[in-house]
């Protein structure tokens, strides 16, 4: 059911039946290593390119999501996924390996919740019974495309963020046991004229605010409805900017309940400047850490707001501003603890 102009309410409450999360060596030394199904000790994953390593991680996350579920791969009808690399080729090659009918998506780092919202929409409308939804990123592959190869050793300002090496996948089902997807608010492209590709958090913050305010207005709930509001990868800069903007919009959030995946995945002493980012950031932290907390009964309702910067190397070189987007998905345990 559509409520307002951009929020879906899922009456049939599709279920996140299982998840699969994979990370690299930097993530293994991070803040939440126990929330991964697999952690690699080699950035190359014994592949000949970083892009192929990213592809392999996505394949592994899909395999774990299926392995952790009561179904087999033959029962999965669709695979919804994307990444940051040109023409989302690592994801498309992974889709070839998986052999599942495939929707290739691109909303940069917001792809995790874009794919989850679309998976829930399809299942809620009886368009499928089982869908794999996810995304991946690789630090070295992303640096090579959007900034400088890591071998260059380029200096970064404090506003820069560290791209997560990893992949996160959810198996969404029509029936079964697991956290329920109850609503989704689809983002609009927001562009306030920022042009600095080393300040993604600042660029994406207005898009997060736009989607969060729309979600509460159109769903007719207030922030106290959720145990946590979780942004994707705003980092320190974007989180502070968005928190202040939300206050000015009249949304009074508890600071401890407004958290960011990019500030959750790594330890404070890891050299990530403003925090983490990348298509895998919100997917691995949500599907690993926060859903594990929900399964333990620590969380009942969360709103996950994945944020994405929709620029390219060409648009930055042409001095264009950075358009951004955010998609919000409401995930609930199904146990009313309020």
The pairing of strands 102-104 and 78-82 is parallel
Other beta carbons within 10 angstroms of residue 259's beta carbon come to 17
Give the model's pLDDT for residue 312.
87
- Intra-chain end-to-end CA distance of the chain, in Å: 24
How large a percentage of the chain has pLDDT more than 70?
96
DSSP classification of residue 164: P
CA 115 to CA 133: how far, in whole Å? 6
pLDDT band at 124 (very low <50, low <70, confident <90, very high): very high
Cα radius of gyration (the chain): 18
Residues 6+ apart with CB under 8 A from 277: 109, 161, 162, 163, 164, 200, 201, 233, 235, 262
Mean pLDDT of 172-192: 97
Q: Which CATH fold would you assign to the domain 2-173?
A: Peroxisomal Thiolase; Chain A, domain 1 (3.40.47)
Give the model's pLDDT for residue 4.
93
Q: Which of 166-175, 227-236, 248-257, 275-284 has the lowest mean pLDDT?
A: 248-257
CA 302 to CA 337: how far, in whole Å? 13
Whether the per-residue pLDDT at 338 is higher than 50: the answer is: no
CA 258 to CA 228: how far, in whole Å? 6
- The DSSP code sequence of 33-92 is GGG-SEE-S-TTTT-SSHHHHHHHHHHHHHHHHHHTSSS-GGG--EEEEE-SSGGGHHHH
The pairing of strands 276-277 and 78-82 is unpaired
Domain boundaries, the chain: 2-173, 180-332
Give the model's pLDDT for residue 337.
40
- How far CA 171 is from CA of 63, 129, 274, 305, in Å, comes to 10, 10, 31, 19
In the CATH scheme, what architecture does the domain 180-332 have? Answer: 3-Layer(aba) Sandwich (3.40)
Q: Which of 57-71, 88-102, 118-132, 182-196 has the lowest mean pLDDT?
A: 182-196
pLDDT digits (tens, 9 = 90+) for 199-243: 888 999 999 999 999 999 999 999 999 999 999 999 999 999 999
Give the model's pLDDT for residue 336.
52
Other beta carbons within 10 angstroms of residue 38's beta carbon come to 16
Within this chain, domains 2-173 and 180-332 share the same CATH topology: yes
What's the distance, CA 282 to chain centroid? Answer: 3
């Amino acid at each position: 059911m559509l409520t307002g102009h951009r929020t879906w309410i899922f009456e049939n409450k599709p279920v996140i039946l299982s998840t699969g999360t994979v990370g690299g060596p930097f993530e293994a030394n991070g803040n939440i290593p126990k929330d991964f199904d697999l952690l690699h000790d080699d950035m190359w994953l014994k592949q000949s390119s970083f892009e192929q390593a990213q592809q392999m991680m996505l394949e592994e996350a899909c395999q774990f999501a299926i392995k952790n579920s009561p179904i087999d791969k033959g029962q999965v009808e669709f695979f919804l996924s994307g990444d940051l690399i040109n023409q989302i080729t690592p994801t498309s090659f992974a889709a070839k390996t998986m052999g599942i009918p495939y929707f290739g998506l691109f909303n940069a780092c917001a792809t995790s919740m874009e794919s989850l919202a679309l998976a829930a929409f399809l299942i809620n409308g009886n368009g499928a019974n089982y869908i794999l939804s996810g995304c991946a990123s690789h630090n070295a592959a992303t640096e090579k495309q959007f900034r400088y190869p890591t071998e260059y050793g380029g200096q970064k300002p404090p506003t820069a963020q560290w791209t997560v090496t990893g992949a996160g996948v959810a198996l969404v089902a029509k029936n079964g046991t697991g956290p329920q997807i109850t609503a989704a608010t689809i983002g609009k492209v927001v562009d306030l004229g920022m042009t600095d590709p080393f300040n993604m958090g600042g660029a994406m913050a207005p898009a997060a605010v736009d989607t969060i305010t729309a979600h509460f207005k159109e769903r007719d709930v207030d922030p106290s409805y959720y145990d946590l509001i979780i942004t994707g990868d705003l980092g320190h800069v974007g989180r502070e900017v968005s928190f202040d903007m939300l206050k000015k919009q009249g949304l009074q959030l508890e600071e401890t309940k407004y958290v960011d995946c990019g500030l959750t995945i790594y330890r404070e002493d890891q050299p990530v400047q403003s925090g983490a980012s990348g298509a895998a950031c919100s997917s691995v932290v949500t599907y690993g850490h926060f859903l594990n907390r929900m399964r333990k009964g620590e969380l009942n309702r969360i709103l996950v707001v994945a944020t994405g910067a929709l620029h390219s190397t060409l648009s930055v070189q042409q001095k264009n501003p950075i358009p951004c987007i955010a998609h919000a998905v409401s995930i609930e345990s199904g146990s009313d603890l309020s």
